[in-house]
Amino acid sequence: QKEVEQNSGPLSVPEGAIASLNCTYSDRVSQSFFWYRQYSGKSPELIMSIYSNGDKEDGRFTAQLNKASQYVSLLIRDSQPSDSATYLCAVDGASGGSNYKLTFGKGTLLTVNP
Amino acid sequence: DGGITQSPKYLFRKEGQNVTLSCEQNLNHDAMYWYRQDPGQGLRLIYYSQIVNDFQKGDIAEGYSVSREKKESFPLTVTSAQKNPTAFYLCASSIVNTDTQYFGPGTRLTVL
């Protein structure tokens, strides 16, 4: 059974600070990693995908992947109150025909204080 | 305007009733998925389909049924056999042989 672990939070940061969200996964052969943002009462929205070790930047968001440590993180620079949401980490298990199913973590609640 | 639509947004069911949740997409995606989300929980996969007239059980398929008669549509029926159906139901789709999934707005089902 593939597992994706996230700290449930809440993670509270002041406006303008860097928010760091972390995720670990159990399936060593996983190849694809995603971060979704979910506002309260709404559906998840894809914000980042990462497939290779290292960093991937998109605006204020940076995803970091370390396959050796089975660890993926999301950094949000210059955090804004509008970033307050639950962030879901999702991992694809690519071992022998996983049919591109994703396993989701339970999410980390981020609160950005003005 | 491309996207995924789900209806209804809110649904109330009496115990013992079957209900059907609609999911339609005009993204020309081959694969479609149904998830369930409970408070404080991650998304759990109910059923998925990668091609018309074919679908597979996910991790929590008991008490649910689906059909995939058209590429654009993947309705989910919550049957009376589902013991605890109150939850937020999310439909997603992706291009086949990729793993990037996009979600519809969701249906919130409450059993009275």
pLDDT digits (tens, 9 = 90+) for A34-81: 999 999 999 999 999 999 999 999 999 999 999 999 999 999 999 999
8 Å CB contact of A88 and B56: no
Between CA A44 and CA A24 the distance in angstroms is: 19
Question: A43 CA to chain B: closest CA distance, Å?
Answer: 5
Residue B15's pLDDT band, with cuts at 50, 70 and 90, is confident
**Alpha-carbon dihedral angle through residues A74, A60, A44, A93, given to the nearest 10 degrees:** -40
Q: In sequence order, what are the beta bridge partners of A72? A: A23, A65
A-B Cβ pairs (cutoff 8 Å, strict): 53
Residue A96 has pLDDT above 60, yes or no: no
Residue A98's pLDDT band, with cuts at 50, 70 and 90, is low
Chain A, nearest residue to B48 by Cα: A101
Mean pLDDT, all residues of chain A: 92
Q: Is the peptide bond before B85 cis (omega within 30 degrees of 0)?
A: no
Helix (H) or strand (E) holding A38: strand A32-38
8 Å CB contact of B106 and A42: yes
Between CA B75 and CA B53 the distance in angstroms is: 12
Chain B interface, mutation test: which of A30, A43, A92, A98, most B Cβ atoms within 10 Å?
A: A43
pLDDT at A1: 67
Instruction: For B42-74, write each residue's pLDDT tens digit.
Output: 899 999 999 999 999 999 999 999 999 999 999
CB atoms within 10 A of CB B11: 17
Residue range A72-99: mean pLDDT, rounded: 86
Residue range A84-92: mean pLDDT, rounded: 95
List the single range of A31-35, A75-79, B16-20, B98-102 with lowest mean pLDDT: B98-102
Query: Which residues on A lie below 8 Å from B38 (Cβ)?
Result: none
Question: B23 CA to chain A: closest CA distance, Å?
Answer: 14
Between CA B52 and CA B11 the distance in angstroms is: 27
